[in-house]
Amino acid sequence: MRLSGKVCLISGGTAGIGLTTAELFARHDAQAVVVTGRDPERGAEAVERLGGNAWYLPQDVVDEDRWDAVVDAVVARYGRLDILVNNAGWIGDEQAQDIEEVELEQWRRILAVNLDSVMLGCRAAVRVMGANGGGSIVNVSSTAGLMSTPLFTAYGAAKAAITQLTKSVAVHCAWRRYGIRCNSVHPGLIETDLGDRVLALFDPDVDRARTAYLARVPMGELGTPDDAAAAILYLASDESRHVTGTQLVVSGGLGV
C-alpha cells in the first residue's frame, strides 16, 4: 500500500480536508495517523471514524511550545515521524479584509494561524525527520495564494507566503541531504460548509455566488475534499520521491 508503515501527523485533522486526508491515509495502510485540533469532541469523533491506528492530540497551532510537544509525543509513541501535513488554517471572521478596512490585530491573527503555524510545523518536523532518515512535508495553501484576493487580503497574503516558505524548506533540506521533501497543495473553492461561508462573503445569495465563481472555473465544478486529499496523498507518498518545492494546484483550472 502507498503509505505502508508510515507515521503521519495532520494538523487541523478533525474536519474538512484534514479529516478526509486522514481517512485516505488510513485506507492506504499508514502505520499511524495522528490528527490535531482544538476541539476534543471532534478529535474523539475523528479517531472513531479512523479506527485503531489513529490518535488525537489537542493543539493550538500558533503555540510554539505545543508544536514541539506534539511532535515529541508522536516520536515517543511511534519512534519516528514520516509525514507532516500542515493543514490547519483560518480564513478569518466576517470582518472586512480589504486593504482599507483590515485591522492590524485581525491581520496578525490570520497570518499567525495560516503562516506562523506552517513555519512552526516545518521547523519541528525537520528537526526530527532530519535525524531519522527523512520524510515528507505537505503544506496546504490555496489558490488564494496564487492570485489577487481583494476581499481576503490577509488570508491571501498568508497563503502566498506558504509558497515561498515551502520552497525554502525544500531546498534547505535538499542541500543538507536530510531526505526530506516539502511541497504545497493549492485547492480552489471546495464543496464544504466553509466553502459556502466564503461564497456568502461575495454575495448573500450563495447559489448566485457559486454560479459566478464557477463561471471562472474551466472544468465548471467545485472541488471536493477527496480531490484535495488525493493530491496530498501523492505528495506524501514515496511515489513523489523526486518532487520537492513544487505547488500542486487542485482548482479545476481556476487561474490558468
Which residues participate in catalysis according to the annotation?
155
Q: Is residue 77 part of a domain?
A: yes
Q: Is residue 200 part of a domain?
A: no
Amino acid identity, position 65: D
Amino acid identity, position 43: G
Over range 136-145, report the average pLDDT. 97
- pLDDT score recorded for residue 188: 96
Q: Is residue 217 part of a domain?
A: no
Q: Is residue 254 part of a domain?
A: no
Question: Could you report the per-residue pLDDT of 48-58, keeping only the tens digit for each?
Answer: 999 989 999 99
CA atoms within 13 A on the CB side of 80: 14
Over range 224-236, report the average pLDDT. 98
> Rounded to whole angstroms, how far apart are CA atoms 200 and 223?
17
Check whether 174 has a pLDDT greater than 80.
Answer: yes
> Rounded to whole angstroms, how far apart are CA atoms 9 and 74?
8
- Contact between residue 141 and residue 115 where contact means Cβ atoms under 8 Å apart: no
Show the cell assigned to 182.
516539502
What CATH number is associated with residue 101?
3.40.50.720
Question: Could you report the per-residue pLDDT of 45-96, keeping only the tens digit for each?
Answer: 999 999 989 999 999 999 999 999 999 999 999 999 999 999 999 988 767 7
Instruction: Report how many domains make up the chain.
Output: 1
Over range 22-30, report the average pLDDT. 98
Q: Is residue 87 part of a domain?
A: yes
Check whether 252 has a pLDDT greater than 70.
Answer: yes
- 64-78 vs 117-129: helix crossing angle, rounded to 10: 30
Give the pairing of strands 83-86 and 54-58. unpaired
Q: Is residue 63 part of a domain?
A: yes
Question: For residue 97, how far is the Cα from the chain centroid?
Answer: 22
> Where in the sequence is the domain holding 20, given as residue range(s)?
5-189+223-248
Check whether 1 has a pLDDT greater than 70.
Answer: no
